[in-house]
């Protein structure tokens, strides 16, 4: 079966970049990305894309209006498509059964109902959003019970792109994973999706599995990555006590080829839309199957992640108290990592909240995040949050003399490359830098005169 028309429901961090690359590599396929959020669609149709991702604008400009379209006309594009990607958000449930752990599937379920209602011809439905294992069963049920005159094949094709490097990850993926049913129709559907990817991905990098393996692999790949970060972060505290240096330890561990050197960078804690949500999901699934030890094992990764954020916040609060400083700090960075404007679960949100609760007034700067987002993030985790607790600054270094305390929250290159020597004389004394990402050269910064606090070093 040759796919001619794709519809992707959800124009977010996953749907937008993924469809741009699929459209670029398959000029004969018409790709319509739809979303209920009209502001987002308008932004996708402008030069100010709603997602900041290096290299994305170039690909969008190249394909938009040719075979890539962004629209709010969800029903029309569902109707026309022979393949539909579901890329809607699946946040952690905030109420009901599984509250705080299970994924909220209401957006996925509403898509499935809409697809069932609109469809008049056979369609392949691709789960792109990260979902709990066996979600495809649920989608299947909804589709088939609401529309028995059309054949729906469900595939799982989880996205492994990391934000900030999405375009590279999409163009040269380590692997593309496609799960489908082991029936003749299921195999045909898998083949149709394989064909789309083979336009640019070598066939040996395309892995086909059953639906459940595909769903579970995505969750657990993220859990493994997060586990490495929590492992190294737990050691950072041990290093501070013993005098070992985490950067040296991490290098030594990573040079073991069986372990490898990526994802061993200590930080103030991992953020992003996936890691926490996926681990909570894994914990929930394990618990609901009575596997309490398995659940506890994975939950510990989140406990360490919160601990890392909390202990970093405490270091700043203790420093203010011990040195009788004015309770004021500059936070550099708000995004959960560099090269993205995404702030979901960013460690900066939690640290800022701890500081606000500790009576510190904070100024915040991020090169790609908007002020309104900062207020939204803080009011989401703290019902008592008042806008006046933080001040968003555009040019943090122009009023640098206001601060004793500067804390680096995101590893943006501009913070690393900044001429710190130049500002030292202007800054209030004593001057403290808390490097939540260990991006600065500790010796150089200390030599200039700053009191330097990195993680896992003294």
Backbone angles phi, psi at 47, to 5 degrees: -90, -5
- Closest distance to ligand ADP from the beta carbon of 110 (Å): 5
Known catalytic residue at 274: yes
Comparing every residue's Cβ against ligand ADP, the nearest one is 12
**What is the crossing angle of helices 211-242 and 246-254, to 10°?**
140
Q: Which of 147, 267, 339, 343 forms a contact with ligand UDX (CB under 6 A)?
A: 267
User: How far is 296 from 294, CA to CA, in rounded Å?
Assistant: 6
Q: Where are the alpha helices (DSSP H) in 289-342?
A: 292-322
When the beta carbons of 14 and 320 are compared against ligand UDX, the nearer one is 14
The answer to whether 161 contacts ligand UDX (rule: CB under 6 A) is: yes
Q: Which of 36, 150, 225, 294 forms a contact with ligand UDX (CB under 6 A)?
A: 225
Catalytic residue among 7, 239, 274, 319: 274
**Interacting stretch for ligand UDX, rule CB under 6 A, among 33-41, 53-61, 269-277, 427-435?**
269-277
When the beta carbons of 38 and 425 are compared against ligand ADP, the nearer one is 38
- Closest distance to ligand UDX from the beta carbon of 273 (Å): 6
Q: Which residues of 349-382 are buried (b: 16+ CB within 10 A; e: fewer)?
A: bbbbbbbbeeebebbbbbbbbebebbbebbeeee
When the beta carbons of 147 and 267 are compared against ligand UDX, the nearer one is 267
When the beta carbons of 142 and 229 are compared against ligand UDX, the nearer one is 229
Backbone angles phi, psi at 335, to 5 degrees: -65, 155
* The token pair that represents 256 in the structure block: 């073991």
> ∠12-128-171 over CA atoms, to 5°?
80
When the beta carbons of 107 and 452 are compared against ligand ADP, the nearer one is 107
- Closest distance to ligand UDX from the beta carbon of 277 (Å): 9
Catalytic residue among 25, 40, 123, 218: 218
The answer to whether 127 contacts ligand UDX (rule: CB under 6 A) is: no
Contacted entry of ligand ADP, ligand UDX, none for residue 453, CB cut-off 5 to 8 Å set by kind: none
Contacts 24+ apart (CB under 8 A), 371-377: 373/334, 373/341, 373/343, 374/334, 374/343, 377/334, 377/343, 377/346, 377/349
DSSP-derived 3-state class of residue 18: helix
Q: Which residues are catalytic?
A: 159, 218, 274
Q: Where does this chain bind ligand UDX (CB under 6 A)?
A: 159-163, 222, 225, 229, 263-265, 267, 270-272, 274-275, 336-337
């Amino acid at each position: 079966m040759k796919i001619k028309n794709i519809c992707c429901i959800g124009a977010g961090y996953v749907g937008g970049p993924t469809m741009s690359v699929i459209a670029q590599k398959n000029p004969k396929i018409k790709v319509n990305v739809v979303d209920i959020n009209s502001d987002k669609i308008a932004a996708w149709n402008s030069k100010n894309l709603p997602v900041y991702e290096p290299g994305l604008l170039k690909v969008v400009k190249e394909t938009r209006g040719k075979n890539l379209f962004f629209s709010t006309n969800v029903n029309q594009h569902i109707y026309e498509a022979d393949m539909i990607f579901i890329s809607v958000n699946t946040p952690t449930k905030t109420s009901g059964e599984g509250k705080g752990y299970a994924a909220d599937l209401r957006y996925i379920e509403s898509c499935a109902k809409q697809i069932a209602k609109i469809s008049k011809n056979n369609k392949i439905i691709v789960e792109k959003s990260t979902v709990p294992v066996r979600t495809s069963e649920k989608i299947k049920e909804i589709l088939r019970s609401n529309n028995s005159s059309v054949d729906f094949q469900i595939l799982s094709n989880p996205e492994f792109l990391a934000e900030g490097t999405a375009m590279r990850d999409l163009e040269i993926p380590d692997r593309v994973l496609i799960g489908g049913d082991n029936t003749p129709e299921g195999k045909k559907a898998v083949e149709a999706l394989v064909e789309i990817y083979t336009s640019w991905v070598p066939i040996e990098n395309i892995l086909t599995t059953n639906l459940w393996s595909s769903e579970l692999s995505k969750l657990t790949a993220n859990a493994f990555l997060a586990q490495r970060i929590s492992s190294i972060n737990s050691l950072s505290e041990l290093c501070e006590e013993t005098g070992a240096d985490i950067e040296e330890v991490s290098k030594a561990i990573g040079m073991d080829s069986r372990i490898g050197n990526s994802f061993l960078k200590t930080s103030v804690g991992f953020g992003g839309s996936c890691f926490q949500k996926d681990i909570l999901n894994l914990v929930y699934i394990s618990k609901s199957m009575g596997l309490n030890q398995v659940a506890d094992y994975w939950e510990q990764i989140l406990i360490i992640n919160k601990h890392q954020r909390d202990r970093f916040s405490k270091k700043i609060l203790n420093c203010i108290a011990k040195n009788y400083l004015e309770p004021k700090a500059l936070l550099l960075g708000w995004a959960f990592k560099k090269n993205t404007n995404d702030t979901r679960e960013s460690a900066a949100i939690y640290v800022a909240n701890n500081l606000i609760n500790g009576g510190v007034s904070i100024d915040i700067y991020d090169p790609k995040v908007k002020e309104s987002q900062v207020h939204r993030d803080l009011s989401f985790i703290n019902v008592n949050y008042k806008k006046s607790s933080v001040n968003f600054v555009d040019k943090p270094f122009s009023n640098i003399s206001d601060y004793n305390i500067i804390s680096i929250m995101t590893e943006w290159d501009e913070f690393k490359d900044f001429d710190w020597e130049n500002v030292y004389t202007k800054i209030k004394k004593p001057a403290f830098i808390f490097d939540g990402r260990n991006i600065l050269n500790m010796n150089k910064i200390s030599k200039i005169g700053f009191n330097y606090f990195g993680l896992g070093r003294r």
